Amino acid sequence: MNTPSTAPDNCPPLEQAVVRFIQELKYEHLDGPAHAGVNRLMRDQLALQIGISRMPWSEQLLDYATHQQRPGNSRVMASSRTMSAADAAFVNGSYGHGFEYDDAHGPSASHPGSCVIPAALAIGEELGSSLEEVITALVAGYEVYTRIGVLAAPELLRRGFHPHAVLSNFGAAAVAAKLRKFDAETTQHALAIALSHASGTTEYTSTGGSIKRIHAGIGTRNGMVAADMARAGITGPRAFLSGNKGFFRTFLQRGPGEGAEQRFEIHRSFEISTVWLKAYCACYCTHAYIDALRPFAARCSDITDIHLKIAPHFNVVVGTANANAYDPKNIEHVQFSLPVQAAFTLLGMGNGYLVHRDYLAGQLEMAPVVDLMRRIRITEAPELEQKYPGKFVADVTLSLRDGSTEQVFVEDPIGTDANPMSEHAQDAKFMELTEGILGTERAQTLLATLRRLDPRLPAADLTALCTA
């Protein structure tokens, strides 16, 4: 009896390696750091899906989805509604990514959690899967998403693409292929079809638009739909990543790099073990600057000039490439403006959930912020990109009234794997997001369940704790 191949025939080495990784990954392959990363990510992402469900664009999205939905048994977070797996993941992924507070993967400049967790839980509910199966699938999706993303960084972001909007298509297709137990050939087609959905730019950072909040949902649903198409027999190009008109040469005008397939070896360290969590409710490109400036909040009146050096690909997202970086007119401008976030910090206003909720509600006095921003200069520094690849660093020089200067460099902002948030801070964030919607007792029960993350627990039992 022949053993089914774990890689498709007639595919380039990179595509074969990606499919083989999805096919061969087992729960037993996950080591301690990978399990710890899953646990942190699950707690953070489910709290966000619950907490952000009450944002105005989230409520608009739910109304839209309710009128478009297909019937199913997958839950919409913080509600009593159920939908098809693809529709529920569309809503829940958008919630999770909906207020610039979700996880980040630094080397790919992306946000995998709001793709792989909603996809895995929604499909897991539909299939009656255990958390062991869900966790294995979400890790498969996380690794495919981030390992392709690392190969595409930093050019994908520098060219104006939103990496999450692009990569989530591949991540969700991988999750679906794993949970639905696709063979190698069908898995390859699912990923190849996902390429036809990949899109999304960062123009929202410059001229706004709540569609950015929905990018996670769009990419996640499209990746799941791509898998459904493959299951129905629709096929995609075999060289979808490395072909002359595949992902890398079309999106980046280059190939994936020599030996790219080695990134998908099953025994490499897992990217999910390095999950970054956000301590601040703004684009991660601003976080190291917030950390650098926080100690100077008490001396704000003594500062005459604030010089911020920034890597070019981050300047595209939060710096001078944004039309409204110094003249914010909406919440997108605020959360993607390095000058605004620096001013928030130095004025002692904080950079968390509450200050951004206050801005959204029109309860924040912005005149002092705009006044302070006049002292802030941003300069592109290509050497930061070259010397610290995959890191979100900050190089800050402050000039004081007495003629002295202070220089601060932050290599690892709070929340990164090298400088993680404390368990106390993670719990405080969880309760901040969930307590007002679930109530204290139910929020604490959910947190305790997520800490245990019993692999035998049905996925549906976990999501039942997230309803309101």
A 10 A CB-CB count for 420 gives 18
Question: Measured between alpha carbons, how far is residue 254 from residues 16, 315, 338 in Å?
Answer: 19, 22, 30
Residue type, 369: V
Average pLDDT over every residue of 173-196: 98
Alpha helix ranges (H) inside 330-422? 331-335, 338-346, 353-360, 367-373, 382-387
Could you give the CA distance from residue 310 to residue 395 in angstroms, rounded to a whole number? Answer: 7
Look over the chain and give the mean of its residue pLDDT values, rounded to a whole number.
96
- Is the Cβ–Cβ distance between 216 and 114 less than 8 Å? yes
Query: Phi, psi at residue 408, to the nearest 5°?
Result: -130, 135
Could you give the CA distance from residue 213 to residue 94 in angstroms, rounded to a whole number? Answer: 6
Could you give the CA distance from residue 167 to residue 406 in angstroms, rounded to a whole number? Answer: 39
Spatial CA neighbour of 415 closest among 272, 269, 280:
280
Residue the block writes with tokens 């478009």: 68
Could you give the CA distance from residue 205 to residue 113 in angstroms, rounded to a whole number? Answer: 21
Contacts of residue 359, Cβ cutoff 8 Å, sequence gap at least 6: 331, 334, 366
What is residue 458's three-state secondary structure?
strand
Q: How does residue 9 score in pLDDT terms, banded at 50, 70 and 90?
A: confident
Residue the block writes with tokens 């912020």: 369
> Taking CA 115 as the corner, what is the angle to CA 441 and CA 120, rounded to the nearest 5 degrees?
70
CATH number of the 13-274 domain:
1.10.4100.10
Look at 86-90, 163-167, 193-197, 206-210 and tell me which has the smallest mean pLDDT: 206-210
Range(s) for CATH 3.30.1330.120 in the chain? 284-410
Average pLDDT over every residue of 433-454: 98
- Is the pLDDT at 140 greater than 70? The verdict is yes
What is residue 407's three-state secondary structure?
strand
Alpha helix ranges (H) inside 11-84? 13-24, 32-51, 56-68
What is residue 76's three-state secondary structure?
coil
Range(s) for CATH 1.10.4100.10 in the chain? 13-274
CATH T-level topology, domain 284-410: 60s Ribosomal Protein L30; Chain: A; (3.30.1330)
Q: Give the torsion through C-alpha atoms of 115, 121, 125, 128, to 10 deg.
A: 120
Average pLDDT over every residue of 144-151: 98
- Segment 367-423, tens digit of pLDDT: 999 999 999 999 999 999 999 999 999 999 999 999 999 999 999 999 999 999 999
Residue the block writes with tokens 């083989």: 20
- Is the pLDDT at 160 greater than 90? The verdict is yes
For residue 3, the model assigns a pLDDT of 56
- Segment 209-237, tens digit of pLDDT: 999 999 999 999 999 999 999 999 999 99
- Is the pLDDT at 299 greater than 60? The verdict is yes
Burial 76-90 (b: 16+ CB within 10 A, else e): bbbbebbbbbbbbbb
Could you give the CA distance from residue 457 to residue 324 in angstroms, rounded to a whole number? Answer: 48
Contacts of residue 258, Cβ cutoff 8 Å, sequence gap at least 6: none
CA quadruple 157, 159, 164, 170: dihedral positive or negative?
A: negative
Could you give the CA distance from residue 220 to residue 154 in angstroms, rounded to a whole number? Answer: 22
Q: Give the DSSP letter string of 95-153.
A: HHTTTS-S-BBGGGTB-THHHHHHHHHHHHHHHT-BHHHHHHHHHHHHHHHHHHHHHHT
- Is the pLDDT at 106 greater than 70? The verdict is yes
Percentages of the chain per state (helix, strand, coil), in multiples of 5:
60, 10, 35
- Is the pLDDT at 1 greater than 50? The verdict is no
Average pLDDT over every residue of 417-438: 97
